[in-house]
Amino acid sequence: MLKLPTFSARTIAVGYGVVSLLVLAMFAGPLWYAWHTNVEQVRTELLRSDAQRLANLFTRSGEQALANAIDSQVIGTNDGVRKIMLLAAPDGSRIAGNLSAWPQGLPDRDGLCSSTIHVDGKARRIEAMRVILPGGYRLLVASNLNRFDELERLFVYGLLACALTVLVGAILGGMLIRRALLERVQGISQTTAAIIEGKLSRRLPEPHDGEELRLLTVTVNRMLDQIEQLVTSVQDVSNSIAHDLRTPLSELRARLEELAITRPDTEETFAEIDAAITDIDRVMGIFQALLRLAEIDSGSRRNGFVEVDLARLGAEVTEFYLPVAELKEIDLSFHGGDALTVVGDPLLIAQALSNLVENALKYAPEHGAIAVSAQREAGDVLALSVADDGPGIAEDERPKVVERFYRVDGSRGTPGVGLGLSVVSAVARLHGGSLRLDDNAPGLRATLALPVHKLSARSDNPDAASGTAVRA
Amino acid sequence: MKLLLVEDNERVARFVCKGLAEAGHTVDHADNGRDGMYHAVSEPYDAIVMDRMLPGGIDGLAIVEALRQQGNRVPILVLSALDGVDDRILGLKRGGDDYLVKPFAFGELLARLDALMRRSQVQTADTTLALGDLSVDLLAHKVTRAGAAIALQPREFKLLEYLLRHANQVVTRTMLLENVWDYHFDPQTNVIDVHISKLRQKIDAPFATPLLKTVRNAGYMLTDRP
């Protein structure tokens, strides 16, 4: 666990250092180059023009004038002196200038040269221009290179200091990042370890700074919420399955066992067998509903989405249940106008609406009324709703009735497996919509709200145009 | 009718074979995919009942597909424990004519098989259907019985048409739900029975002999036989 943060912090520090040094080199290199070439160029040109000017003076005004001019321009030979000039007689003896004698080590030719000479016992790097004047007089005009030494040294030291600062900064930064990362990762890993041990309610602490980590933390926490909900619902479902399957199965077992023990006459045996088959059908019904729920929740049905006209679908489902309502003398009516098209699974939406209507039929009193309607709720939300005038559902019960196998107290005696509203809710989720349960004062108004999605890439689907159900 | 049953579960196979024999059919049985394939290609059958998951290395749907590729158009009813809508669609897409989920009531299987075999025998484009003194004009949407006109709702008309097309055959509630309403879920209420009884009110109640009969544990049958 410790290896990863160490590695990443070190990588960050090394990367930061390398990049900083690169930037420094990219900045200093050209500067150094430009400075050097420029200074050299200027220096060489100065030397040339100086030598030319002095030679001209000699030709024009003679030896004494040149000597005076040189002596007026240069004094001394200390470290900071810029110019070195010397006028020497043909035999090499000094006439004027700040050198005592013609220096050793200069090449014996005219023109530019770089050399090191000794002046007053000190070595001096110079760039020199030698000119032989008429009459054998020798003129030396030179530039003292040593006076740049200090500047170059400062430049290099500055550069080194910069590099050092950058490196120290990188190391410190790396250590800090590593510590911060470690702290946070340790927080995450401790929480995760707790979750692995089964404390599903634990959540990652949300950091106050650092958008990236906060984002990650929030996402992970949302995932944990979902996992906790799933685990809880799986537990609930297991308990409910155990309960709801055990009841018909134990009835069935009792029935068969009694049959085996008492061995009644043929007539009664057949009646018991029929009852046993009914028990099994009930178990199968629960299984089928659970499988259907799992299929819906897996989202695989989205592949078969087509355009569905909710108004037509609502009218058809209402018509389907009309005879049942008439039998119970319930006024079942449909209210809807123009086509209301959503993209979805017509089979599932029809099943969802059927479940709502069947629920209403189950709970509406005789001579009651059930109103099915299709309408536009908001700009892009369409809704199918079923309103009855039955007993309704108490407000605190409403979220629970959507849960699997939940049945309102007192409804245990009525047929049904307690999965109807779960299926409706799952169908709503599959379509990105929702199931709302409101007070119809009196009674219950169940609304299946579905957002309109355009059928984009799937418009080539032949079923899309007609809006008819897929034949399966 | 000569039928082939490809089913590996011994108890289910025995039960189905016995039932089909009692219904007057001759049944061959294969308990694995290889034998099933061999029987299906080497002998002419009136219909095949094919389980989807079989031992012997050949899946039931693969056999169906192979038969269809050979141009064999025998009606095939696919049996399966897989109940997803996608599984149904796959089963039909690959050449099955009908799809029945296990466990099933034998009456359901028999009714669907009869419907399949009937469909392959006569593919009629009739404009009138008649049974006894009941006659239906499909173009004019008119129903008469013993000369008297009967007014039906559009859906009642469709229900009657389906029953007439399968006259003298058992039709199950699921078959009606799927073929008349195009719904593929089990209503928790007896809504189909109520629709049937409404239809019965109109076509049978005023007359001496009822045509629309209830078949216990199976469904309904429109018949003029006593």
CATH number of the domain encompassing residue A238: 1.10.287.130
More confident residue, B29 or B92: B29
Alpha helices (H) in chain B, listed in sequence order = 10-22, 33-42, 60-69, 85-93, 106-121, 154-165, 173-176, 191-203
Domains of chain B by residue range: 2-121, 128-222
- A84 within some domain: yes
pLDDT band at B169 (very low <50, low <70, confident <90, very high): confident
Residues of B in contact with A424 (CB under 8 A): none
Q: What is the pLDDT of residues B110-147, one digit of tens each?
A: 999 988 888 766 556 678 888 888 989 888 889 999 88
Contact A320 B191 (CB under 8 A): yes
Strand partners, A316: none
| Mean pLDDT value across residues A168-189 | 80
pLDDT, position A320: 92
Residues A342 and A374 placed together within one structural domain of the fold: yes
Q: Give B222's strand partners.
A: B212
Range of the domain at A221: 211-297
Residues 153-182 of B with CB under 8 A from A: 155, 181-182
Provide the H-helix boundaries in A201-265. 211-262
Q: Same domain for A122 and A224?
A: no
- Strand B2-6 versus strand B26-30 pairing type: parallel
Closest-CA residue in chain B for A419? Answer: B188
Contact criterion met (CB below 8 Å) for A131 and A141: yes
Closest partner CB to A471 (pick from B103, B182, B194): B182
Per-residue confidence band for A304, with pLDDT thresholds at 50, 70 and 90: confident
Question: CATH number of the domain at B2-121, please?
Answer: 3.40.50.2300
CB A389 within 8 A of CB A442: yes
Residue A78 pLDDT greater than 70, yes or no:
no
**Is B139 at the interface with chain A, CB within 8 A?**
no
Specify whether the backbone of B98 is left (phi greater than 0), alpha (psi in -120 to 50) or beta. Answer: beta
Q: Could you tell me if residue A287 is inside a domain?
A: yes
Written out in words, the top-level CATH class of the domain with range B128-222 is: mainly alpha
Distances (CA, A) of B201 to A72, A332, B207: 140, 21, 10
For residue A79, what pLDDT band results from cuts at 50, 70 and 90? low
Domain count of chain A?
A: 3
User: Is there a single domain that holds both residue A136 and residue A35?
Assistant: yes
Contact (CB<8Å) A347/B194: no
In this structure, are A400 and A324 located in the same domain?
yes
Backbone angles phi, psi at B186, to 5 degrees: -95, 115
Tokens matching residue B192: 């189909």
**Does residue A186 sit within a domain?**
no
State whether A328 and A271 are in the same domain: no
Task: Write down the ipTM of this complex.
Answer: 0.77
- How many residues comprise chain A? 472
With 80 as the cut, is the pLDDT of residue A462 above it?
no
The reply to whether A27 falls in a domain is: yes
- Mean pLDDT over residues A157-176, rounded? 85
CB A32 within 8 A of CB A155: yes
- A32 or B26: whose pLDDT is higher? B26
Residues A248 and A328 in one domain: no
Token pair, residue A316, equals 């058809």
Asked if A357 and A373 touch (Cβ cutoff 8 Å), the reply is no
* Residues in chain A within 8 Å Cβ distance of B152: none
Q: Which tokens go with B183?
A: 């719904």
Please tell me the predicted confidence (pLDDT) of residue B125: 67
Q: What would the pLDDT profile of A351-403 be if each residue is shown by its tens digit?
A: 899 999 998 998 888 889 999 999 998 878 899 999 998 888 887 777 777 76
Beta-strand relationship, B26-30 and A331-335: unpaired
Q: CB distance from B22 to chain A under 8 Å?
A: no
Instruction: Supply the pLDDT for residue A260.
Output: 87
- A40 and A113 housed in the same domain: yes
Q: Measured between CB atoms, does B216 come within 8 Å of chain A?
A: no
